[in-house]
Amino acid sequence: ENHGGYSSNGKWLARLIKETGHRRAGTLPDFGNFQLNKVGDKIFSYDSYRGVDELMPKAKGVSLKPKVWDDFGKEHPLDYERMMKIVVGHKFNGYVGIEHGAPDREWESIEEIRVNLDMIRRTLSNA
């Protein structure tokens, strides 16, 4: 899973997995984990859509978060249609896990999961 630092550079992680040459080595693209680093107030990030596209050829699963990053350290709401076109475009037929917020907001998080699940279902039915 891309999870900060080098692993959130989709191109770097995709190459690393490919170079292992092992059939069981794979990726778990996480839509919202393309924040490379934070130095003071400055955030360095990697475009989530590009990163997911680069990691999908070896994806064993996908992790949905409703926020994504651009190349300029800015966080944005997930464009479900755009992202799922990337995922499905790689002939992915596995699980899309939906991550939720902190334990102290568990009930709100359950509602957020339902909203995200509904968005995914609507997006896929329109594809």
Instruction: Kindly report each contact of residues 98-103 with a partner whose C-beta sits within 8 Å and lies 24 or more positions away, as own/partner.
Output: 98/64, 99/30, 99/32, 99/63, 99/64, 99/65
Identify the H or E element spanning 109: helix 106-125
Mean pLDDT for all residues in the chain: 91
Identify the H or E element spanning 45: strand 42-45
pLDDT per position as a tens digit, 11-48: 999 999 999 999 999 999 999 999 999 889 999 999 99
What is the Cα–Cα distance from 38 to 115, expressed in whole angstroms?
Answer: 30
Does 108 have pLDDT greater than 80? no
What is the Cα–Cα distance from 7 to 21, expressed in whole angstroms?
Answer: 18
Rounded average pLDDT over 76-99: 94
Rounded average pLDDT over 85-93: 96
pLDDT per position as a tens digit, 71-81: 999 999 999 99
pLDDT at 33: 94
CATH number at residue 81: 3.20.20.150
Q: Percentage of the chain surpassing pLDDT 70?
A: 93
Boundaries of domain holding 66? 5-125
How many distinct structural domains can be found in the chain?
1
pLDDT at 124: 86
Rounded average pLDDT over 113-119: 90
Tally of CB atoms within 10 A around 16: 14
pLDDT per position as a tens digit, 59-75: 999 999 999 999 999 99
pLDDT at 102: 62
pLDDT at 99: 83
